[in-house]
Structure 1
Amino acid sequence: MPNRLRYRVFYTARQKVVTSVITLAVTVGATLYVVDTVNDPEDRSCAPGVARPQGSTECVGVNGTGHDFGVPALREVATAIARENATLGSGDHVTVAILLPITSTDTGMSGKVLHELQGAYAQQYRANHESNDQKPRIRLVLANTGKGNAHWRTTVDQLKTMTGAPDQLRAVSGVATSSTEIRDAVTELTKSGVAVVGTTITADDIANGPGRNRYPGLARVSPTNGDEARALAAFGKVDAAKAILVQDTRTGDHYTDTLKSAFAASLKGKAPYEPQLFTSPADMTEEGTTANTFRQITHLICDTTAETVFFAGRHTQLRQFINALGARGCKSRAFTVLTGDEGSYLGGDKKLDRAALRAKVTVRYASLAHPDAWKPVPGRPVPTTGGSTAAYDTFVTTLARAARAPSGPIGPIALADGQSIVAYDAMATAVHAIRQATPTGSTLPELRDVGAQWPQVKGSLRVEGASGWICLDNYGNPYNKAVPIVELALDGSQRFVQMAWPEGHPPKDNCLPPGKG
């Protein structure tokens, strides 16, 4: 049996020495590691102006030197923008940023980002090469807010530091989703004096108006959800007694909130049925369990006498609803689904069941732009006001030139969703304001003077957009903007049907908004 006294005296003392040595070594090693980490912290940079925030693998920030933010599909257009930026001299240009969730993993949003960057680049090319050498010239940068715009504050804070030399940031475009994050981003930018031109934000409450100027310096080139709903109603001549509303109950998404309000207002006091409700996931690009809810809702719709369904929700849920409606029990009855511009995503959605469109389901949506909208065809003349074939043809020609070497390539071009067209027009509006605000003899405008131009963008000073005339009211909102009504064809393609107007008719040739008194 071991001598316990000897064990306590001898071995314990020896163990203490060994333990002390080991502890000292570990402590010294840890100290050296901490010192080394402090002196040489982890490199989280991705490219000039771009880094990975703590806890994130996304590359977030602002760059105009060709960085694609880890999205291979954007490599060619990012490189083309960098090539154009490199041609600019010092002191004779200003910067415009395109603010988008560039690293979004949602298929619809990824396509939207590519197309918007292509359209913005085409307008940069036109401004710098095909505008009679007007100044200032335009430098374009990509500003990534991350998936779901989760890192908007990091990027916006960076943009706010770029209003002086050498960047001379004078406008931000893009801002393409009607979300709370984008609302907050627009608030921060405009509060700092930066002019903002929204491409596809359509929420009625991310806008200025009589008695409310929350976003001084904000302009939009797309009609509001309210205007879209009015245009749809004017086009469709919907019998409210045979209509029903399907709407998302989730609040906080400004697109769905204002769309369902607009649809409800058009049916108020006339619809015989209460709305059918569903609740989308927190991330509305996720599938969630709403497909099951829609299967049940289509059963209930079969119990009604409805012929028209107004759908107030995002594109993932819209696709699920259409798939469910195609599998409904009452297939002998025909239904028309009317919705907002989120319908433009359906053309590229591989999960859309095309068979639903052959089961007496017609899907029509209020698009923001369409490549056939200003093309005359027999029996469908082009409106004489509100836009023109010439303006659209200029866009197509410019895009083709910008896409060819040595300016391009810029990646595969697709115009059916209208995103490139609207982004081109938003950039045109920004360039127009920048140059109008530049005093004679000066090379650049004062920061706040750019956003102050919006009340004068009308009449003969309107922007001849490829999507239609851009005539802004005193609050930066487009007046009676053309709304192409688009239908999903049986093969899933997006077919232009007819132009519609919020006022029920095209604007007068002077394009001056009437008084509100």
Structure 2
Amino acid sequence: MLEWLRRHLYWTPRQKLFTWIVVSAVVLGLGGFAISRWNDPEDRSCATGVERPAGSDECVGVNGDGHDFRVPDLTEIADAIGRENATLKDGEYATVAVLLPLTSADAGMRTKVLHEIQGAYAYQYRANHASNSETPKIRLVLANTGKGNAHWRSTVDRLAAMTGAPHRLRAVSGVATSSTEMREAVTALTGGGIAVVGTTITADDIANGPGAPNRYPGLARVSPTNSDEAKALAHFGRVDAAKALLVQDTRSGDHYTDTLKAAFTASLKGAPYEPQLFTSPADPTEEGTTANTFRQITHLICDTRAETVFFAGRHTQLRQFINALGSRGCTDRAFTILTGDEGSYLGADKLLDRNALKARLTVRYAALAHPDAWQPAPGRPVPATGGSTVAYSTFVTDIARASKKPVALADGQAIVAYDAMATAVHAIRQATPQGSRYPELADVVTQWPQVKGSLRVQGAGGWICLDNYGNPYNKAVPIVELALDGTQRFVQIAWPEGNPPTTACLPPKKK
């Protein structure tokens, strides 16, 4: 039977011809599909202006249409920005980009990113709806540099291409980490004539100054440098160097850590002990093996007469150090840890051992902003200069629009981003000639030397009076303590110059 079917059904001349046609069609079809795939590569777009780079699943690029870069936490705020941008008419706006690692894998950075975008949007809305119809209106776009800022180059290139119509990019804010990648990004942006307003970059070497006045032409910052943070801490704590010790990261190339340890070293002249050293992983958000090193360092600290420990390192290692010092052998002695603004991550760090704070251990850091800094409280009057309750109250009203739920403010990120956006908008509008709808790109970068005195920005986190190099002069530095319940408790405002600025808020001539 099978033999009959083979000869009469499948292998008749007609069936042979049919079989050949079918097989040929399949082969040609597969070949055509392969050729089509070869000529038409996989579509890696995520949204307008955003795509997945080769070898990556991250959505990288620039977008202001409501795209959330596939980060669910950003969906609500990205949608709000998209709706606001959709109300703007072509020709009536200038664009400001917020440059951040939106798809960071680090939990602390993801929280920081969310809060910064919420703060930026809050001021965009104020600029467009509550500024006496000043022009131009402001379009806000989100610019993702990827995990570890690895894709900063392609994103910066895209921003550079947006300075003409219809976008008219006039400033970039964000730039939230003092890393090598961000230094290169700032170099590329300012080298292309684009104004940059850094939010939480504090490294002294990502700044202009008397020694290198045009290193980053057009860069302004709203946060104090690490040197100013260290000076503010010194004025606040009046630390006895003979009873102080420095614990520092030896990994070089991290501009936050490098300049912080230099600033702390300058504050600890005459200290009897050499610094205790550790080396963080290449990616400092990783746990690595530094917890073992800190366990040993705590033994050595108990061997000293130190009462205050200055910590120069990133937040992951700071948390490991606190956990280790909390279980030290000499718990009969009290210690105070003083560190920079990376301490702001501690409040949301679930790996922090809260019991460590019960072991006679106090953790304080120089914050960039805090919600209680400009609110009066019994026994804690608000300084007469350097900031105001009115400016902070305005921010509270504005930030409520950024989320259906209350925006977390304790880490200061939303406040700083709001102030950075306010500074960018101030420069854009000051640079706009009377009768024009928007400024020329080259005119925005020249505005920073005039942001002082009566032309200062009334920031929610304090006055922003810039020196001729774009750095904030004597900016308020809230000193914050990590409380036993994990909340970030405001202690008091400290000042890099020792006292609040005068009413004029005019930086003195630098020697």
Smaller-chain TM-score bracket: over 0.9
Q: Percent identity over the alignment?
A: 78
Structure 2 stretches lacking a partner, 5+ long: 1-23
Output the amino acid matched with 1:375: Q
Letter in 1 for 2:128: N
Q: State the match for 2:440 in structure 1.
A: 446
Tell me the distance in 2 between the aligned counterparts of 1:220 and 1:434: 15
Once the two structures are superposed, the pairs formed by residues 39-438 of structure 1 within 5 Å of their partners are 39-212=39-212, 213-268=214-269, 270-400=270-400, 402-403=401-402, 409=404, 412-438=406-432
Q: Distance in 2 between matches of 1:308 and 1:430?
A: 39
* Secondary structure of the structure 2 residue equivalent to 1:257: helix
Name the SS for the 2:263 alignment partner: helix
RMSD: 1.4
Which residues of structure 1 form unaligned runs of 5+?
1-23
Alignment partner of 1:365: what SS?
strand
Counterpart-to-counterpart distance in 1, 2:55 and 2:386 = 48
Equivalent residue for 2:492, pick from 481, 498, 513: 498
Q: State the alpha-carbon separation in 2 of the partners of residues 235 and 211 from structure 1.
A: 28
Measured against aligned partners, the alpha-carbon deviations of 1:205-232 in whole angstroms (never above 9, x if no partner) come to 0000114111100000000000000000
- Alignment partner of 1:233: what SS? helix
Shift of the alpha carbon at 1:36?
1.0
Deviations 1:309-359 (A, max 9, x none): 000000000000000000000000000000000000000000000000010
- Find the partner of 2:455 among 451, 461, 485: 461
1:487 aligns with 2:488: no
Deviation at 1:32, TM superposition (A): 3.9
Secondary structure of 2:491's partner?
A: strand
Cα distance in structure 2, aligned partners of 1:504 and 1:132 = 37
Distance 1:488 1:287 in 2: 21
* 2:14 counterpart residue number: none
Cα distance per residue 1:484-517 (max 9 Å; x no partner): 0000001111000010000011001000000124
Deviations 1:47-80 (A, max 9, x none): 1110000000100000111111111011000000
Tell me: CA distance 1:237–1:90, structure 2 relative to 1, closer, same or farther (3 Å).
Answer: same
What is the one-letter code of the residue matched to 2:318?
Answer: L
Indicate yes or no: 2:29 matched with 1:35: no
Distance 2:219 2:387 in 1: 22
User: Could you tell me which residue of structure 2 aligns to residue 14 of structure 1?
Assistant: none
Assess if the C-alpha contact under 8 Å between 2:399 and 2:407 holds in 1: no
Aligned partner of residue 363 in structure 1, secondary structure: strand
Residue-pair matches, total: 487
Please state whether the residue corresponding to 1:110 is helix, strand or coil.
helix
Deviations 1:257-294 (A, max 9, x none): 000000011112x1110000000001000000000000
C-alpha displacement at 1:398, in angstroms? 1.4
TM-score, with length taken from structure 1: 0.92
Q: Whole-Å Cα distance in 2 between the matches of residues 60 and 208 of structure 1?
A: 29
Cα distance in 1 for residues equivalent to 2:281 and 2:215: 29
CA distance in 1, matches of 2:339, 2:224: 14
- SS across alignment from 1:262: helix
Partner of residue 467, structure 2: 473
What residue is the counterpart of 2:501 in the other structure?
507
**2-structure distance, mates of 1:395, 1:229:** 27
SS at 1:167's partner residue? coil
Q: Secondary structure at the match of 2:121?
A: helix
Secondary structure in structure 2 of the residue aligned to 1:139: strand
The alpha carbon displacement at 1:306 in A equals 0.2
Give 1:10's aligned residue: none
Q: Give the superposition deviation at 1:145.
A: 0.2
Equivalent-residue separation in structure 1 for 2:227 and 2:491 (angstroms): 20
Per-residue CA deviation, residues 241-261 of structure 1 (Å, 9 max, x unaligned), is: 000000000000000000000
Distance 2:347 2:473 in 1: 28
Aligned match of 1:9: none
What amino acid sits opposite 1:330 in the alignment?
A: C
Distance (Å, rounded) in 2 between the aligned partners of 1:254 and 1:455:
25
Please state whether the residue corresponding to 2:362 is helix, strand or coil: strand
Deviation, 1:89, is 1.1
| Shift in Å, 1:457 | 0.1
Q: Structure 1: how far apart are the matches of 2:316 and 2:438? A: 43
Matches of 2:377 and 2:506 in 1, distance apart?
Answer: 29
**Amino acid corresponding to residue 129 of structure 1 in structure 2:** H
Q: What SS does structure 1 have at the residue aligned with 2:407?
A: coil
Report what 1:4 is aligned to: none
> What's the secondary structure of 2:330's corresponding residue?
coil
1:412 to partner: Cα distance:
4.9
Q: Secondary structure at the match of 1:200?
A: coil
Task: Return the letter of the residue paired with 1:397.
Answer: T
CA distance in structure 1 between the aligned counterparts of 2:32 and 2:278, rounded to whole angstroms: 57
Separation (CA, whole Å) in 2 of partners of 1:257 and 1:364: 20
CA 32–233 in structure 1, closer or farther in 2 if over 3 Å, else same? same
Q: What amino acid is the match of 2:303?
A: D
SS at structure 1 position matched to 2:170: strand
What CA distance in whole angstroms lies between the structure 2 residues aligned with 1:93 and 1:273? 57
Aligned partner letter, 1:424: Y
C-alpha displacement at 1:29, in angstroms? 7.9
For the residues of structure 1 that align with 2:25 and 2:469, how far apart are their CA atoms? 68
- Whichever residue aligns with residue 43 of structure 1, its letter is D
Quote the offset at 1:125 in angstroms: 0.3
Provide the C-alpha distance between the structure 2 equivalents of 1:163 and 1:496, rounded to a whole number of angstroms. Answer: 41
